[in-house]
């Protein structure tokens, strides 16, 4: 797709995003024990506002901001669709938990943002559960949007997707159905407090990396390029990789998780864990994040110090990945992005 055409379509999509906030927003607590819920439904953060998001900020002339892959604006100087500065107050939010559950469920990791311990299964589970809940909630909102009867919404969907709108809607429906399976299992773990029923692959760097993310993904390929989640069959459920990356004051935590009986997901994580070359590990983990997750936040202290050509290429990669008509891309060792290199660390 030509850059000019993508910019035009992105403007249309930005308008559609405004419609979502009006007609596609869903306010519902994700916690399975509804009897405990106490209104209101909060605009909850999937990533810690006073923790990771705050630590990614850059302040210019008294204004603090971060970047998100899904928030874009035209860079008039260099004519490309650039990352858009946003405030952390509005970053990573979703109406997915009531006031009671947002406070009580996550207090172990939220009251002290630095408390997260990768050797603590409860901590790992809570981050995983919140990451999944964000992705699950967003998919529900997407399905609500695609099944809307509002004329303005239908007009934009037909303009953006044309004759493929029914096919895309069916794809969203199937994705939501797939997510119902891990949703049920994660709820059971939560209720029964069997936090060890997930397999966690956790890593920690002794410095602050410039990225934070939270979500569930279904990668298209294994590291060697073999197909992973590429079936179009309704009878085959996708395998899930739960991913959370949290920069703290003087360290960065990565929590990857999967169900132990999900053989494909376990193989994917074991391959990552068995990469012996640290540089290749960092690059592949960076590839996993940018290629598979939408809820990704980048520090301007990292992004703004790059050349405009690097930033252009970075945004073009996001464009390619986010285009529903683009096939899954595959990893190669020349991948140019490494969020976890010591040289990319950010300071206060």
For the residues 40-65, what does the mean pLDDT come to? 84
pLDDT band (50, 70, 90) for residue 23: low
Q: Report the C-alpha gap between 255 and 52 in whole angstroms.
A: 14
* pLDDT tens track for 302-312: 999 999 999 99
Mean pLDDT value across residues 286-297: 94
Tell me the C-alpha distance between 198 and 117, whole Å: 16
pLDDT tens per residue, range 151-199: 877 887 787 778 888 888 888 888 888 899 999 999 999 999 999 999 9
Give the pLDDT confidence of 307-348 residue by residue, as tens digits.
999 999 999 999 888 876 677 788 988 899 999 999 999 987
Give residue-wise pLDDT tens across range 121-143. 999 999 999 999 999 998 988 88
Is the predicted pLDDT of residue 80 greater than 60, yes or no? yes
- Residue in 201, 188, 215 with CA at minimum distance from that of residue 121: 201
Q: Closest Cα partner for 223 from 183, 161, 267?
A: 267
Count the neighbouring beta carbons within 10 Å of the beta carbon of residue 58.
17
DSSP three-state, residue 46: coil
Instruction: Summarize the confidence of residues 52-75 as an average pLDDT.
Output: 88
The Cα–Cα gap between 100 and 78 comes to: 47
Neighbours of 284 (CB within 10 A): 19
Query: Taking the model in full, what pTM does it have?
Result: 0.91
Q: Helix 263-273 and helix 278-292: axis angle, to 10°?
A: 140
Q: Given pLDDT bands bounded at 50, 70 and 90, which one contains residue 203? A: very high
């Amino acid at each position: 797709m030509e850059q000019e055409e993508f910019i035009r379509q992105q403007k249309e999509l930005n308008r559609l995003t405004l419609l979502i906030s009006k007609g596609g927003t869903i306010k519902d607590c994700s916690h399975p024990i509804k009897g405990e819920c106490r209104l209101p439904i909060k605009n909850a953060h999937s990533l810690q506002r006073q923790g990771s998001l705050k630590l990614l900020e850059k302040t210019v002339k008294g204004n603090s901001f971060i970047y998100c892959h899904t928030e874009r604006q035209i860079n008039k100087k260099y004519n490309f669709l650039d990352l858009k500065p946003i405030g952390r107050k509005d970053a990573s939010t979703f109406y997915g938990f009531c006031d009671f559950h947002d406070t009580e469920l996550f207090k172990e990791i939220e009251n002290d943002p630095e408390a997260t311990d990768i050797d603590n299964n409860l901590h790992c589970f809570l981050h995983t559960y919140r990451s999944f809940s964000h992705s699950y909630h967003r998919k529900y909102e997407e399905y609500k949007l695609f099944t809307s009867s509002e004329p303005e919404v239908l007009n934009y969907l037909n303009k953006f997707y044309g004759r493929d709108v029914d096919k895309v809607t069916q794809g969203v429906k199937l994705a939501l159905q797939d997510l119902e399976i891990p949703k049920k299992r994660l709820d059971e773990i939560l209720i029964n407090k069997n936090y060890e029923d997930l397999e966690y692959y956790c890593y920690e760097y002794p410095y602050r990396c410039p990225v934070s993310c939270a979500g569930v993904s279904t990668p298209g390929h294994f590291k060697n390029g073999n197909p992973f989640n590429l079936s179009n069959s309704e009878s085959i459920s996708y395998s899930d990789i739960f991913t959370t990356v949290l920069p703290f004051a003087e360290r960065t935590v990565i929590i990857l998780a999967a169900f132990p009986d999900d053989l494909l997901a376990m193989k994917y994580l074991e391959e990552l864990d068995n990469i012996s070359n640290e540089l290749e590990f960092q690059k592949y983990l960076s590839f996993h994040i940018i290629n598979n997750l939408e809820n990704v936040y980048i520090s301007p202290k990292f992004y703004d110090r790059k050349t405009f050509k690097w930033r252009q290429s970075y945004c073009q990669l996001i464009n390619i990945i986010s285009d529903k008509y683009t096939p899954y891309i595959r990893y190669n060792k020349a991948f140019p992005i490494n969020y976890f290199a010591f040289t990319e660390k950010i300071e206060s």
